[in-house]
Amino acid sequence: MKRHYLLPDISQAGRIGCSLPHLDVPSSELPPEELLRQELGLPEVSEVDLVRYFTALSKLNYGVDTGFYPLGSCTMKYNPKWHEDVAKLPGLTALHPYQPEESVQGALQLMYRLQEYLAEITGMNATSLVPVAGAHGELAGLLMVKAYHQARGDKARKKILLTDSSHGTNPASVAMCGLETGVVASDARGDLGLESLESMMNEEVAALTLTMPSTLGLFDPKIAEISQLVHERGGLLGGDGANLNALLGQTKFGELGFDYVQLNLHKTFSTPHGGGGPGSGPVCVKENLIDFLPTPLVTEDNGRYSFMSPPKSIGKMADFYGNFGVMVKAYAYLRSLGPEELKRISEDAVLNANYVKEKLKPHYFLPYDRTCMHEVVFSGKKQKAKGVATVDIAKRLLDYGLHPPTVYFPLIVSEALMTEPTETESKETLDNYIAAMIEIAREAAENPEVLRNAPHNTPVRRLDEARAFRQLDLRWEIDHQKK
């Protein structure tokens, strides 16, 4: 099959990719000419050519169904097939968000139960399912923090503290709330530096937000002290729940002292990541923040479900009620798990990460040599000393048919390689990955050139990102069709 073609290249005037109904009513007068469109430059492609084109594209992709995908912080666990099937039921997809509540009681019941389950799992009092992604949930959390302090007349609190290992979305969300960021330094163990927090935690601080366990894959044993300090000085403690997978069935954010936590259903609750969404980022809160939750919530009264708006809600954050289609899959996942199974998930996730850590420790530098949670962060600095960068290691993994870990994050580890195996991977899969990583460490020492030129076996070789940036080519135009 010939490569490097685009839709306009398989377009011919007169083709179409589906059959459409005829007009079955009398036609009406057309609107004034000045409202009408002159040209519509869309391609014209037959159904068979279209399907082959996108099928060919799909084969250039690597997904969880293709193989091991240890992209740290993203929880690329396997997505059970039957969750996909139930989510396609017409009774769950062919629903208009504004149809009468009595005609969508099943959908509302599902949302209500999901709110309850998520609150139970996180040890919180209420959940809003509205945010559609993790960063959207972070934004919801911070807007609630702001509204909470304003409602108390505490106008000086304009700063959000974060750690130096936090996700990039954290400070970006703070900026979207018109608040300032203060960065708390990590200590030598990779945990939050209590002294740094002590010196920064003043009456200008609205909240500290923490990823738990941290992006280093570490659980901070001082969590109770941190929570106490923040609360004593009038702040709130917010959670980035991106790493909830490590804590499922073990402990609860609410009991650890968090006032709110934002979840990622597409990570922890196993819904497919879609190449970058759809996700779902519910936010769970304690009693003190319930009134501020984004609207709407689902309530139940005598077996009848309906929408309601919290009295001091931060308002609407999306067109409708959140990503219902994603909620259905997460609900299916949760209903397949009881407390025992929930715990087994975090156990196997943590077991897998520690297994990879122990096996690779002799070959890669481990900046924080302690028991990790669901992910382990190595540094490629041993290899860097030999002239091989972490990006080269990542690209070489592609030649072994494996997806690389997250690289160059968190920022506090140089040449970071952040590996999150997840619980759905077998010992054989991990052993295969470990063997590849050991082989790559040997190549880095003996034949660095093969890494620097990697990948060799992928659909394309290493791409020129600088050129993409300098010579922006962001679209085709239909006039180029016959080029």
Site for other proteins in 231-250 (CB under 8 A): 247, 249-250
Interface size with other proteins, residues (CB under 8 A): 201
Q: Is 151 in the site for other proteins (CB under 8 A)?
A: no
Nearest to residue 81, comparing CAs of 104, 64, 106, 58? 64
* 52 vs 442, beta carbon nearer other proteins: 52
Nearer to other proteins, 385 or 456 (CB): 456
Compute the least distance from the CB of residue 480 to other proteins, in Å.
Answer: 10
CB 321 within 8 A of CB 129: yes
- Binding test (CB under 8 A) with other proteins, winner from 152, 304, 427, 442: 427
Choices 376-384, 400-408, 413-421, 443-451; region in contact with other proteins by CB under 8 A: 400-408
Enumerate residues 332-391 that contact other proteins by CB under 8 A: 332, 334-339, 341-342, 344-345, 347-348, 350-352, 354-355, 357-359, 370-371, 373
57 to 82, 88, 203, 417: CA distances (angstroms): 25, 24, 54, 28
**Chain residues 65-94 in contact with other proteins, contact rule CB under 8 A:** 65-66, 69, 71, 74, 76-80, 82, 84-86, 88-94
Q: Closer to other proteins at the Cβ: 318 or 385? A: 318
Query: Is 319 a residue that touches other proteins (CB under 8 A)?
Result: yes
> Of 335 and 385, which has the nearer Cβ to other proteins?
335
Residue 103 binds other proteins, judged by CB under 8 A? yes
Q: Shortest approach of other proteins to residue 152 CB, angstroms? A: 17
Write down the residue that tokens 């003043």 correspond to. 202
Under rule CB under 8 A, residue 159 binds other proteins: no
Residue 196 Cβ vs other proteins, minimum distance, rounded to whole Å: 18
Report angle CA 178, 179, 181 to the nearest 5 degrees: 135
Contact stretch for other proteins (CB under 8 A) within 137-145, 201-209, 377-385, 412-420: 137-145
How many Cα atoms within 13 Å fall on the side-chain side of residue 444?
Answer: 26
Taking CB under 8 A as the binding criterion, the range among 29-37, 200-208, 284-292, 439-447 that sits at the site for other proteins is 29-37
C-alpha–C-alpha distance, residues 96 and 83, integer Å: 21
Instruction: Name the minimum Å distance from CB 445 to other proteins.
Output: 23
The Cα–Cα gap between 277 and 274 comes to 5
Q: Residue 439 CB, nearest distance to other proteins (Å)? A: 19
Nearer to other proteins, 277 or 445 (CB): 277
| 443 scored as a contact of other proteins (CB under 8 A) | no
Q: Residue from 226, 285, 314, 366 that binds other proteins (CB under 8 A)?
A: 314
- The least CB distance from residue 1 to other proteins, in Å, is 14
Name residues contacting other proteins, limited to 450-469 (CB under 8 A). Answer: 453, 455, 458-465, 467-469
| DSSP label of 192 | B
For other proteins, the closer of residues 379 and 395 by Cβ is: 395
Element (H, E) at 236: strand 236-240
- DSSP string of 373-409? SS-EEEE-HHHHTTT--HHHHHHHHHHTT----EES-
- Provide the token pair at 223: 């969590």
Interface of this chain with other proteins, residues 284 to 313, rule: CB under 8 A: 294
Q: Which residues of 214-225 are buried (b: 16+ CB within 10 A; e: fewer)?
A: bbbbbbbebbee
Query: Which residue, 354 or 445, has its beta carbon nearer to other proteins?
Result: 354
128 phi and psi, to 5 degrees? -110, 130
Among 349, 116, 126, 364, CA closest to 249 = 349
**Contact call for residues 267 and 242 (beta carbons, < 8 A):** yes
Binding other proteins (rule: CB under 8 A), the pick from 195, 198, 202, 274 is 274
Q: Judging by DSSP bridges, how do beta strands 205-211 and 159-163 pair with one another?
A: parallel
CA distance to 141, 207, 230, 284, per residue, from 227 (Å): 17, 10, 5, 17
Task: Report the C-alpha gap between 344 and 338 in whole angstroms.
Answer: 10
Q: How far is CA 80 from CA 91, 317, 423, in A?
A: 20, 30, 13
Least Å distance, CB 385 to other proteins, is 24
Contact region with other proteins (CB under 8 A), list: 35-43, 201-209, 376-384, 443-451: 35-43
In the three-class reduction of DSSP (H, G, I as helix; E, B as strand; rest coil), residue 285 is classed as strand
Per CB under 8 A, the segment of 136-144, 198-206, 375-383, 439-447 that binds other proteins is 136-144
Q: Is 174 in the site for other proteins (CB under 8 A)?
A: yes
Q: How far apart are the first and last CA of the chain?
A: 19
- Binding of other proteins by 11 (CB under 8 A): yes
Q: Which stretch binds other proteins (CB under 8 A): 195-203, 320-328, 376-384, 441-449?
A: 320-328
Name beta bridge partners: 210. Answer: 239
- Exactly one of 233, 252, 312, 381 binds other proteins (CB under 8 A); which one? 252
